[in-house]
């Protein structure tokens, strides 16, 4: 039996290169070795966007299409939507009963999201009941499939630690060893900043979407920040101070190309505009096949719906096995 992976994303619309390089590319590789469950976390989206649901279904479809285009294979991985597996909610209830309040309050996920609400949504320090339960719901997502590993970045390890604590507490309270304590599996993926040098994100308007056309991608890259110290085209450049473009070359260029870019930049033989145009070509080459597959799924929405429904049904069958055992352990009627 393969060991099991569980991970997910909130549906916030079309995904960008940060998602692809930082998460999805790793997921594609993991599905060759592990039994993978990949969730579109639509309930999690409601914790902060409960009043903005007009586009939720389309956002779910967009996430799935981007996953499929990037290489997540429904024959190898289980792709499902959180709300189509209601067993998640029942397990969340049982776990919430045994989770101390202070465990939840110190969770970094909750702190980060509360900070976003305070600074961006104009809600002060107000946190709704659903958001308070976010860390426990996240744990239910993981334990519902008794996952061995959760792929995360180094900054997300604490999230998995809480899930481990809750699994351990459940086992202690009900005198069992049923739940595994999920281990974080660190991503070894490229990280990419936004075009303005900050974290890439839709809300910052600094992203390149997986589904962007070549023309749109080129136009966006031409706005990217470069070496601020260069005043003229033939001024010697400082690649390490090039906040965005040189970092992109490190990801999308070959070693020889990167060395050429570095040498020409330092010698003042490469203008920033030309450098960005050449970079756009490299990015578009890398994304070409992915975008073609994306177009195919856009033109076949019934296939996307079929994949969602079948994956969610498969996930639910597995979830029901877990819930049956949990109900027995808790001594439910």
pLDDT in tens, 206-258: 999 999 999 999 999 999 988 877 878 788 888 988 889 999 999 999 999 99
pLDDT at 202: 83
CA dihedral 103, 108, 112, 113 (to 10 degrees): -40
As beta bridge partners, residue 199 has 193
Reported residue count of the chain is: 333
Local structure of residue 156 (DSSP, 8 states): G
pLDDT at 110: 80
Q: Give me the residues of the chain with pLDDT under 50, please.
A: none
**Tokens linked to 142:** 């993981």
**Tokens linked to 236:** 């010697």
pLDDT at 232: 81
- What is the distance between the alpha carbons of residues 189 and 217, in angstroms, rounded to a whole number? 22
pTM of the complete model beyond 0.85 = yes
């Amino acid at each position: 039996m393969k060991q099991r992976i569980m991970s997910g994303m909130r549906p916030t619309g079309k995904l960008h290169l940060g998602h692809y390089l930082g998460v999805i590319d790793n997921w594609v590789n993991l599905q060759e070795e592990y039994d993978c469950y990949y969730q579109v976390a639509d309930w999690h989206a409601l914790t902060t966007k409960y009043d903005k649901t007009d586009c939720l279904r389309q956002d779910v479809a967009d996430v799935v299409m981007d996953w499929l285009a990037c290489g997540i294979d429904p024959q190898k991985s289980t792709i499902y939507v959180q709300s189509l597996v209601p067993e998640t909610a029942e397990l969340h209830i049982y776990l919430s009963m045994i989770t101390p309040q202070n465990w939840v309050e110190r969770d970094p996920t909750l702190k980060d999201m509360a900070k976003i609400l305070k600074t961006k949504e104009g809600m002060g320090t107000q946190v709704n009941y659903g958001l308070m339960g976010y860390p426990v719901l996240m744990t239910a997502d993981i334990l519902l499939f008794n996952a061995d590993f959760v792929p995360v970045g180094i900054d997300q390890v604490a999230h998995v630690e809480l899930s481990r604590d809750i699994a351990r507490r459940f086992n202690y309270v009900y005198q069992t060893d049923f739940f595994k304590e999920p281990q974080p599996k660190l991503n070894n993926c490229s990280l990419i900043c936004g075009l303005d040098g900050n974290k890439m994100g839709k809300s910052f308007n600094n992203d390149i979407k997986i589904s962007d056309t070549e023309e749109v991608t080129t136009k966006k890259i031409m706005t990217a920040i470069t070496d601020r110290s260069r005043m003229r085209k033939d001024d010697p450049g400082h690649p390490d101070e090039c906040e965005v473009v040189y970092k992109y070359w490190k990801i999308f260029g070959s070693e020889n190309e990167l060395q050429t870019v570095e040498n020409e930049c330092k010698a003042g033989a490469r203008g920033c505009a030309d450098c960005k145009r050449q970079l756009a070509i490299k990015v578009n080459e890398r994304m070409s096949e992915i975008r073609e597959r994306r177009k195919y799924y856009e033109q076949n929405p019934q296939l996307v719906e079929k994949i969602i429904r079948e994956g969610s049904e498969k996930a639910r069958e597995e979830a029901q096995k877990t819930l049956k055992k949990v109900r027995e352990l808790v001594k439910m009627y």
